[in-house]
Amino acid sequence: MKKIIIIIFSVLISSNLFAIDREDVEKYIEKNFKSVKTIKLDYSDLNNKYNYGYIKAKKGNKYRINTYDRIIVCNGSKIWNYAVNNNKVMISKFDSDRSSLSIENIFFDILKNSKINNFKKEISTNKNNNNLYSVDFTISDSDKSKYKIDKLNVLINEKFDIKQINLSYNGQEQRLKIKSLSINKKINDKEFNFKLPKNSQVIEID
């Protein structure tokens, strides 16, 4: 009986040692996202099984988004939108005044400008999702206006791995599962230029 009590006590102490609180998350965001320069992430949309892929992005409106049927590349001034299935490329100028919300904006802009308004431990029946924490953010007025975002919620674990992003923007609800995320890893600028595929149809938009 004494051994059982000791084991239970040890487990409780161990779980508390790895617990995080609201202040820990605030410090993590302050340290990592106030000066984030690049991100790489793999994601999938929990509301749409066909929306999945990976993103590489660099501060300065440079990004590459690969999904199952599309490749979108921006070098900061030009955007290539390639439809894989019909081998068609649409080329347009990047306009920062008309930019819409995409995943990299959350990491480059919205997180660092937002404030935590609610923090709680998430109850999960998935054994692989033990000790997840739900973090609600108050969006800054400037980001609300620019990206039309109303709500941002993040699920994070004790290692500060962001596992899921839940957001509401332009009247849409989206739940993104983050499979992997790395910050401030070197990305060659060559990634943000697109080589036209052979025999592709090109449509240029002014």
Distance from C-alpha of 77 to C-alpha of 60, rounded to nearest angstrom: 10
Distance from C-alpha of 45 to C-alpha of 179, rounded to nearest angstrom: 11
pLDDT at residue 8 in the model: 39
Query: Measured between alpha carbons, how far is residue 196 from residues 74, 82, 90, 91, 121 in Å?
Result: 14, 9, 11, 11, 48
Query: Measured between alpha carbons, how far is residue 66 from residues 42, 113, 173 in Å?
Result: 10, 27, 21
Q: pLDDT by residue (tens digit) across 39-90?
A: 999 999 999 988 899 999 999 999 999 999 999 999 999 999 999 999 999 9
Residue 2 pLDDT exceeds 80:
no
Structural tokens at position 129 = 């999702």
Average pLDDT, integer, range 101-130: 81
Average pLDDT, integer, range 126-143: 83
Distance from C-alpha of 93 to C-alpha of 180, rounded to nearest angstrom: 30
Q: pLDDT by residue (tens digit) across 96-110?
A: 766 677 888 899 999
The pLDDT-based confidence of 9 (bands split at 50, 70, 90) is: very low
Rg (CA), the chain: 20
Phi-psi region of 53 (alpha: psi -120 to 50; beta: other; left: phi over 0): left
pLDDT at residue 124 in the model: 60
SS3 47: coil
Q: pLDDT by residue (tens digit) across 177-189?
A: 999 999 999 999 9
Residue 171 pLDDT exceeds 70:
yes
pLDDT at residue 15 in the model: 41
Residue 123 pLDDT exceeds 80:
no
Distance from C-alpha of 164 to C-alpha of 131, rounded to nearest angstrom: 13
pLDDT at residue 40 in the model: 96
CB 63 within 8 A of CB 80: no
Average pLDDT, integer, range 136-160: 92
- Strand pairing class (172-183; 38-45): antiparallel
Residue range 19-205, CATH number: 2.50.20.10
